[in-house]
Amino acid sequence: MGRIMSIDYGKKRVGVAVTDPLQLIANRLETVDANLIWLFLDEYFSKESVDLVLVGYPVQLNNQPSEALRYINPFVQKFQQKYTVEIKQVDERFSSKMAFQSMIDAGLRKMQRRDKGTIDGVSATILLQSYLEQKKYI
């Protein structure tokens, strides 16, 4: 059984999280510069088996797609051309707010919470853990 990966794709940074090989627990893996994501994925996929990649799909509160889709959709299209790994887009509506609150709850100092890379990585982890929780009941 391969891992499940979650990607919180942004213009500048990409948060990445993965499950353990049994697909039970989500772990923050890395925050990668958006310009380096393809090199990172090439290297990771060459070392690890991944069954599914989740990509955050930004939706506004009124259920309309966010403007961020202008750069997320091209990423998803290129991913599908480049890799044979299954990819799914999942609602990421509140992941950044949940990540920020999780960092507060974990006791991170104000300066640590300002690090956008940390927020992106935690957001990817929350997306993945939410997916795993939903999968239990399907």
The pLDDT, as a whole number, for residue 113 is: 44
What residue segments make up the domains of the chain, in order of their start?
3-136
- Rounded Cα gap, residues 21 and 110, in angstroms: 34
- Could you report the per-residue pLDDT of 71-91, keeping only the tens digit for each? 889 999 999 999 999 999 987
pLDDT in tens, 5-58: 999 998 899 999 999 999 999 999 999 999 999 999 999 999 999 999 999 887
Q: Give the three-state DSSP class for 77.
A: helix
> Does the structure show a pLDDT above 60 at 107?
no
Q: Are 75 and 112 in contact (CB under 8 A)?
A: no
Residues 76, 54: contact at Cβ < 8 Å? no
**107 DSSP assignment:** T
**Residue 99 reports pLDDT greater than 50:** no
Question: What was the pLDDT predicted at 111?
Answer: 55
Q: Which CATH number fits domain 3-136: 3.40.50.300, 3.30.420.140, 3.40.50.2300, 3.40.640.10?
A: 3.30.420.140
pTM for the structure as a whole: 0.80
Strand partners, 30: 16
